[in-house]
Amino acid sequence: MKSKKQKRQGDFQKVQLKVGKKKPKADNATNVNFKSKAIHLPEQLKHADSGPTTNRQLDIKDLLSKLHHVNSNIKQGALVGLRELLSGQPTLIELHASAVLSEVAALFTDKDGSVRAAAVRLLRFIAQCIPPERVAPFFPLLSAHLTCAMTHISEAIQEDALRVLDVLLEHYPGLLSQRHTVLLTNFLELISQKRKSGTGQDKAGKGAFSLTISTNRKVTAQQWRLTVLLRLGSFLQAVVEERPLEEGVISRIGLGMWAGEKGSVTPVDVSWEEHAFGKGKIQVFENSGAVPSPHSAYRLRPDSKAGGGMNKELCSAETVQGFAGTLVPLLLEIWVEAAGGDSVQTDSDHLLSAEAMALMFQILTILQLLRRLTPQRDQQDILDAWFRNSYLTDFKHHFMKNFPYGLREVARHKKKADGKRIRQQVAAGTVAGTNVEPLALNVTLCQVMVTLSLRGQDHIEAEDADWLGPIRVFIRETLSNGGKLSLKHLAALLEVVWRMIVTQRSRVVTDDLLQAVFVQYQQRNLAVSVRTLLLRFFSRLYIQEQQNHPHIARSRILACWLASLPVQLVQLGSRNPQLSAQLLETIHPAAARGNKDLLQSLQKNACSIYDPQEGCVVVLPVESQKRLVQILHFLPAFPAELLACLSQVCNTGRVSASLATMLIRSVHLRSPLSGCSSSLQDVPVKDVDYLSFFFTTLTGFSSEMLRALQDTDEDGLLPSSTLSPLSVFATTLEQFLHHWDIVEEVCHCLNTLGSRAQCFDVIQNAINKNLCGLVVVPDCVCAAILRCVPRLLDVNFLPSDTLLHFLSDCCLSMLNLLLQLEQSARKRDAVWEACFAALSTVPRLLRLVLQSFHVFDLCEEELPVLAQILSLLLQHTQLRNHMMANASLLQHIIQDLTHFYGGETREQWLTDLLYCYSVTLSGHRTNMGMRDIY
Amino acid sequence: MSAPVEVVLSADSAGQLFNCAVFDPHSGSEFLSYRGGNTSSRSLTVLNGEYILGAQLGKNFINVWEIQRKDQLQQKIVCPGIVTCLSASPDGLYVLAGIAEAIYLWEMSTGNLLAILSRHYQDVSCIRFTDDSSHFVSGGKDNLALIWNLSSVVQLDSSRTPEPRHILSRHSLPITDIHCGLMGPQARVATASLDQTVKVWEISSGEMLLSVLFDVGIMSVTLDPCEYFLFCGGSDGNIFQVSLCSTSLSRDKTFQTDSDGNQVFKGHRNLVTCLSVSMDGTLLLSGSNDETVRMWDVQSKQCIWSINHKGPVTNAAIIPAPANMFLADSHPAVPLPRFSRHLNPSEQGDTTGSGGVCLRLGANTQVPEGTYLEKADELYSLMCAVTDKSVFGDGENTKVRVSELEEEVKTLKKINKDLYEFSTQLLTKPN
């Protein structure tokens, strides 16, 4: 216990502190004798998976959170950073589209201008990267913010909202056009305000809105309106263009008017060969044909499914009328102000400043678009009538007063002011719209006014004359003053012309206007697109409208134009196949309709069109060739020269064999001999010409060519010999086969003629006169004759000796040729087929051939050839009977052959021949023997 | 011999033996012949089962026979021009004739000329009615085929010119033949043309459904009643059969090779000018410029018989046999009126009978058939009824029936059991 106490005392010893002595250091005192430096962290450590960052190492989350910052500089910096980040890493856009778009859209209404500008830039960049279908889910949000900005109380924000609109219009017109209900009123409110209903000042004619003028904008009221109208115009354009096209409605405005149409059902297209060999399976009827296709123009029972969709709202005439009712008075007011503001300064009213002109042009464009908002034809008519009733007087009063308009020259001394103004315009983004040509303005004015003229009511025509007159004069002068017009203006002008022709129904007007168009058409050196446009205009005028409008059908200009087509076709040659095809597209139906002017001109130019050397029928592409061949069917007459041309066209090989057979068939059908055309009054093809055409086509060589051939000594020539009495001119394989196909068709046509005996007689005479006595004969001619004669030969008709001798010569030469042919199996087959048919069908021919084998005249080299020919004939079973009929002759020849050869060693050819001979004879004998037994 | 259901009616352009004659479709033996003149192509038609009308070749009149008086020419209708084609509506109320490029429409009850339609630019080559007489299709040498609605043509006031419902303008050479399928306004039309194609269109929408390109010009076309096959007569004498249903659907045909041979009817040597299929789709009739008419079996593509004519065959068709044809003492119900040659008879001073309207009271007319829509609805409800009954049954009725059947099963089972016991007893007893 005691020791414990002592211990405790030891533990708690009191340290005595004394004055003047230093205080001893505590045991636990810290030594502070060290120096330190601050650690600076310029950036934070990031995890590896945090994703890409900007130069400032901010990732997308940071940037987005910074957008909510109070300081506008930081917001702007974040926007710039976002743009940098996203352009570096495009994949991020897809990932964060929803966050980025919603944050950016919120900044449309930011109160700082630079932030808004940066937001628009970012939006533009994003829009380039994301396709419309991906933006669609976020679009309600975007458009809500846009609407918010457009209706914002601050005018600067309103202006910037239009830029947002620009971006969206450029990239997502389809999505934007679905929001038209909200946006259209927004547009109205940008330039106007609602009248107070209680004031009672507004007249009945004016709408519920009145124009506003605000003094504190940076730009003038006119410029502001121009910017708004520009956007409105492009917005309406988007609405019109993005609408799914209804069936049967061709856009009748602008370039589309004369473009091709397309059907709504894709028909099944098969050719017989494919089908016959089981390649093309046909399934024509959907639902096994019980339900008519949905494209049917009328319904047997009402369609239960009503087509829903937002666009429906703007399709009917009533809704458009409602909107137009408020818009058009405003537009008229703007017009008056634009026109009036200028006319104070000068006394020449029709001269306008560039700005006013741009404004007016926009007004007219919007009017035009309003009309096009309704897609259906009947609705469009209702709308036209409504416009006419409500606004014709206003339009006449304001628009037509100073028509046509011109541009006032701006004096140079206003340079400074101009510069300033231009700068302002750049700020307002209107530069694009300001440089409008006066021509464009005038043309658009015509377009708008002409739609107001009604179809075919006489009393109205008289009323309209006062304002349609100047338009007509303007159009005529513009078209016929020799200047070249751009494609767009010309299309618009043609549209006006079309409408005037159709509505006015007067021959004078029609000829007047068409004359002007024709002057334009006849200009040289037109661009191809312009030329095509004019061509389409005329051809559609002729094809579509002519039936309903006798004044168009009787038009002198149209007739003149039609008559000029074949000449143009000839002149064009192969230079522009597209244009030629376009021409043919008109010529063909016109010919089919039996248009007299065209047919006359066609007849006159037929020989040059169907010229075998450089005529259209050989130089154009296949489709056009086909059309040309089909047009042949409608030619009123086929003179001998034309038939000569056609025959050469068939044989020169520059049109395909199938087209050539089509050509032959159409000549055949036009001839009274074929028994198809029942009318006896007019004979398009004379019988003589018909037969000579067929004979020339059959031989494939004209008489001049054959004569020229007699004197040549080309490589292709095989010299004549005892075994080949004719000197054969070997044609190329291609030519031979082409000719072979044609011969087939010719034989078929000749076969169907009424009297076979007479027909054969004619052909026999022709052969005797033209071909017998030739020394050099092309192989294809030989083959053709050998093929044609047995097919045409009547059983009761005996061919003449001259013909038979010629045939036997041909046959022998061909057999000789056959042995030399190695290169083509097809040619061999064809030649053999021809020889065989002739030998087996024509009586006495085989005997003549055998008789012409004079063994003693042959030299040693020719003996094997003869033996080969003989064994060839013997081997063929179908010929065996015919050979047996000439057994004695055959035996004689073979005896001579063995005797004459007389060599010790039996050659292979001789063994073969003897073997064939013995087989044939023995077969024959057993047959005979069998017959004897029974 | 009982009267045949169908007969073959054919004519040739020579007219030496007869103008037109009626044959048995199965044997090819001749029943009747009508004499006098000859008939141009696509212009022989039977009106209302009582008259035969045929346009004279190259002349401007139409020959008319009463169908039971075969030897005697009844009358000649003089027309304003040479008739190129002729067609009577299946209900027997209207007659259409193509005269040069115009189509003339007569009303049979009065003989009035109701309309002259001149929308073709060249000669009309063929006119066909749909089977319910609501529409007709005309084809011309101007490459156009027009589909007309008969009622709109008839009922229009004179101030407006009638417009065709559809213009089919895809052919590039003259149209040679038209065939209208069944089903009234829902029918399909086949057009043949010299441009070597046959096209199938829909009447209701005017859209082209099918185009088949051949290597010869096609002179005639027809469809079988089920529209399984399209038969096309070529200018080389072959008849091509195009199957309109995809063969992949029928499992039986997988091993059959579709070679060229079994889809072509070969036999004619010249243009096949007319084709016709029998009601049951088994027989195909063809007439040709080689002066024969042939009957083919569609399944085997064999020629059953052929008849030689004295000239190119202009018309050949299988028609349902008219009731009056074989009753020599029958009379037409309505006398044939005088056909007027001008559009408005009153204006031409032709006052005879202009005020009178010929009425026929319904002594021997049947109850009017329902329209196609009604028929289709009826069929549909019938089909629905069958499926409803078999699948769902209808309430009380079936419950009773089910309990009845269960009862019966029970008794049957009991009888069966008794039988079994009885027989086992019988079998086991002798032991």
Q: Which residue has the higher pLDDT, A744 or A303?
A: A744
Which residues fall within 8 angstroms of residue A184, CB to CB, at 6 or more apart? A323
Distance of CA A64 to the CA centre of its chain: 48
Q: Which residue has the higher pLDDT, A115 or B261?
A: A115
pLDDT band at A715 (very low <50, low <70, confident <90, very high): low
Q: DSSP state, A543? A: I
B132 touches chain A (CB under 8 A): no
Q: Which residue has the higher pLDDT, A823 or A911?
A: A911
A680 touches chain B (CB under 8 A): yes
Nearest residue on chain A to B163, alpha-carbon basis? A548
In Å, what is the CA distance from B180 to each residue of B128, B297, B306? 7, 22, 26
**Considering only residues 41 to 80 of chain B, which have any Cβ-Cβ distance to chain A shorter than 8 Å?**
41, 57-58
Which residues fall within 8 angstroms of residue A8, CB to CB, at 6 or more apart? none
A435 touches chain B (CB under 8 A): no
pLDDT in tens, A661-675: 888 888 888 887 776
Q: What is the 3-state secondary structure (H, E, C) of A261-302?
A: CCCCCCCEEEEHHHHHCCCCCCCCCHHHHCCCCCCCCCCCCC
- The stretch A731-748 carries a mean pLDDT of 85
- Determine whether the interchain pair A627/B172 forms a contact, defined as Cβ–Cβ distance below 8 Å: yes
**Considering only residues 545 to 604 of chain A, which have any Cβ-Cβ distance to chain B shorter than 8 Å?**
547, 588-589, 592-594
Contacts of A289 in chain B (CB under 8 A): 188, 227
- The stretch A778-793 carries a mean pLDDT of 84
Which H/E stretch holds residue B45?
A: strand B39-47
pLDDT of residue A426: 42
Which H/E stretch holds residue B105?
A: strand B102-107
pLDDT in tens, A18-37: 888 888 788 888 888 889 88
pLDDT in tens, A350-402: 677 777 778 888 888 888 888 777 766 667 777 878 888 888 888 877 777 77
Taking 90 as the threshold, does the pLDDT of residue B137 lie above it? Answer: yes
- The stretch A743-771 carries a mean pLDDT of 83
Instruction: Report the 10 Å Cβ neighbour count for B256.
Output: 11
**Contact (Cβ atoms closer than 8 angstroms) between residue A374 and residue A316:** yes
pLDDT in tens, A445-472: 888 777 777 655 555 556 667 777 788 8
Nearest residue on chain B to A659, alpha-carbon basis? B215
Angle, in degrees to the nearest 10, between helices A622-632 and A657-670 = 10
Contacts of B185 in chain A (CB under 8 A): 300
- Determine whether the interchain pair B258/A751 forms a contact, defined as Cβ–Cβ distance below 8 Å: no
Which residue of B121, B230, B265, B380 to mutate against A (max A Cβ within 10 Å)?
A: B121
pLDDT winner (highest mean) among A261-265, A293-297, A773-777, A811-815: A811-815
Contacts of A285 in chain B (CB under 8 A): 188, 209, 227, 244
H helices of A373-414, in order, are 377-399
Q: Which residue has the higher pLDDT, A52 or A49?
A: A52
Q: What are the tokens at A580?
A: 């030629």
Cross-strand pairs, B149: B135
**Considering only residues 322 to 361 of chain B, which have any Cβ-Cβ distance to chain A shorter than 8 Å?**
none
pLDDT of residue B73: 67
d(CA A111, CA A104): 14
> What's the gap in Å between the CA of A456 and the closest CA on chain B?
13
Which H/E stretch holds residue B10?
A: strand B6-12
pLDDT band at A852 (very low <50, low <70, confident <90, very high): confident
Closest residue to B210, CB basis, from A276, A284, A301: A284
| Strands B218-223 and A717-718, bridge-based pairing | unpaired
B152 touches chain A (CB under 8 A): no
Closest residue to A293, CB basis, from B205, B247, B264: B205
pLDDT winner (highest mean) among A514-518, A626-630, B207-211: A626-630
**Contact (Cβ atoms closer than 8 angstroms) between residue B327 and residue B31:** no
**Contact (Cβ atoms closer than 8 angstroms) between residue A677 and residue B13:** no
pLDDT of residue A881: 75
Which among A184, A485, A166, A209 is positioned nearest to A314, based on CA atoms? A184
pLDDT of residue A253: 36
> What's the gap in Å between the CA of A823 and the closest CA on chain B?
29
Q: Cα dihedral sign for B228, B233, B239, B242?
A: negative
**Contact (Cβ atoms closer than 8 angstroms) between residue B91 and residue B145:** no
Longest dimension (CA), chain B: 115
Q: What is the mean pLDDT of chain A?
A: 76
pLDDT in tens, B212-254: 888 888 999 999 888 888 899 988 888 988 887 755 444 343 3
pLDDT of residue A820: 76
pLDDT of residue B285: 94
d(CA A256, CA A537): 11
Which residues fall within 8 angstroms of residue A304, CB to CB, at 6 or more apart? none
Contacts of B260 in chain A (CB under 8 A): 276-277
Contacts of A296 in chain B (CB under 8 A): 202, 204-205
Contacts of A269 in chain B (CB under 8 A): 210-211, 213
Taking 50 as the threshold, does the pLDDT of residue B350 lie above it? Answer: no
Q: Cα dihedral sign for A79, A85, A87, A92?
A: negative
Distance of CA A598 to the CA centre of its chain: 26
B208 touches chain A (CB under 8 A): yes
Closest residue to A276, CB basis, from B41, B165, B263: B263
H helices of B92-188, in order, are 150-155
Closest residue to B244, CB basis, from A265, A282, A594: A282
Percent of chain A with pLDDT over 70: 77
- Determine whether the interchain pair A676/B271 forms a contact, defined as Cβ–Cβ distance below 8 Å: yes
- The stretch B381-387 carries a mean pLDDT of 75
pLDDT band at A3 (very low <50, low <70, confident <90, very high): low
Tell me which residue has tokens 């185009």: B211
B377 touches chain A (CB under 8 A): no
Percent of chain B with pLDDT over 70: 84
pLDDT of residue A932: 44
Which among B146, B145, B48, B135 is positioned nearest to B88, based on CA atoms? B48
Taking 90 as the threshold, does the pLDDT of residue B136 lie above it? Answer: yes
pLDDT band at B341 (very low <50, low <70, confident <90, very high): confident
- Determine whether the interchain pair A267/B209 forms a contact, defined as Cβ–Cβ distance below 8 Å: yes
- Determine whether the interchain pair A297/B57 forms a contact, defined as Cβ–Cβ distance below 8 Å: no
What are the φ and ψ backbone dihedral angles of A47, each rounded to 5 degrees?
-75, 155
CB contacts < 8 A (A, B): 145
Which among A657, A751, A277, A662 is positioned nearest to B264, based on CA atoms? A277
Which residue of B202, B249, B274 to mutate against A (max A Cβ within 10 Å)?
A: B202
Q: What are the tokens at A798?
A: 């005996």
What are the φ and ψ backbone dihedral angles of A306, each rounded to 5 degrees?
-85, 130
| Residue type at A927 in one-letter notation | N
pLDDT of residue B97: 93
pLDDT in tens, A528-584: 888 888 888 888 888 776 666 777 777 888 888 888 889 888 888 888 888 888 888
> What's the gap in Å between the CA of A633 and the closest CA on chain B?
8
Taking 80 as the threshold, does the pLDDT of residue A138 lie above it? Answer: yes
Nearest residue on chain A to B235, alpha-carbon basis? A665
**Considering only residues 131 to 160 of chain A, which have any Cβ-Cβ distance to chain B shorter than 8 Å?**
none
A397 touches chain B (CB under 8 A): no
Contacts of B174 in chain A (CB under 8 A): 592, 633
> What's the gap in Å between the CA of A553 and the closest CA on chain B?
12
pLDDT in tens, A421-432: 444 444 444 444
Contacts 24+ apart (CB under 8 A), A539-546: A539/A582, A539/A585, A539/A586, A540/A258, A541/A498, A541/A501, A542/A586, A542/A590, A543/A586, A543/A589, A545/A501, A545/A502
**Judging by beta carbons within 10 Å of its beta carbon (0-12, 13-18, 19+), is residue A178 exposed, middle or buried?**
buried
pLDDT of residue A49: 56
Instruction: Report the 10 Å Cβ neighbour count for A439.
Output: 19
Taking 70 as the threshold, does the pLDDT of residue A217 lie above it? Answer: no
Closest residue to B209, CB basis, from A265, A273, A300: A265
pLDDT of residue B192: 93
Q: What is the mean pLDDT of chain B?
A: 82
- Determine whether the interchain pair B206/A297 forms a contact, defined as Cβ–Cβ distance below 8 Å: yes
Taking 50 as the threshold, does the pLDDT of residue A307 lie above it? Answer: no
Which residues fall within 8 angstroms of residue A23, CB to CB, at 6 or more apart? A17
Q: Which residue has the higher pLDDT, A17 or A11?
A: A17
- The stretch A744-768 carries a mean pLDDT of 83
pLDDT band at B151 (very low <50, low <70, confident <90, very high): confident
B412 touches chain A (CB under 8 A): no
d(CA B196, CA B202): 20
- Determine whether the interchain pair A298/B58 forms a contact, defined as Cβ–Cβ distance below 8 Å: no
Taking 80 as the threshold, does the pLDDT of residue B348 lie above it? Answer: no
B202 touches chain A (CB under 8 A): yes
Q: Which residue has the higher pLDDT, B69 or A492?
A: A492
Contacts of A292 in chain B (CB under 8 A): 186, 202, 204-205
A669 touches chain B (CB under 8 A): yes
| Residue type at B40 in one-letter notation | S
A173 touches chain B (CB under 8 A): no
pLDDT in tens, B113-133: 888 888 888 889 999 999 888
Closest residue to A268, CB basis, from B173, B186, B210: B210
pLDDT of residue B405: 93
Which residues fall within 8 angstroms of residue A482, CB to CB, at 6 or more apart? A519, A523
Between A567-576, A869-878, A921-930, B134-143, the lowest mean confidence (pLDDT) is in A921-930
Counts for chain A of helices (H) and strands (E), in that order:
42, 8
Question: Where do the DSSP E strands lie in B278-335?
Answer: 283-288, 292-297, 302-308, 313-320
A266 touches chain B (CB under 8 A): no
pLDDT band at B392 (very low <50, low <70, confident <90, very high): low
Q: Which residues of A622-659 are buried (b: 16+ CB within 10 A; e: fewer)?
A: eebbbbbbbbbbbbeebbeebbbbbbbbbbebbbebeb
pLDDT of residue A15: 77
Q: In what order do the strands lie in the sheet with B197-202?
A: A268-271, B208-213, B197-202, B188-193, B175-180
**Considering only residues 616 to 635 of chain A, which have any Cβ-Cβ distance to chain B shorter than 8 Å?**
627, 630, 633
Taking 50 as the threshold, does the pLDDT of residue A145 lie above it? Answer: yes
H helices of A400-547, in order, are 415-428, 431-434, 438-450, 458-480, 487-504, 507-521, 528-540
Q: What are the tokens at A62?
A: 């940071």
Nearest residue on chain B to A595, alpha-carbon basis? B121
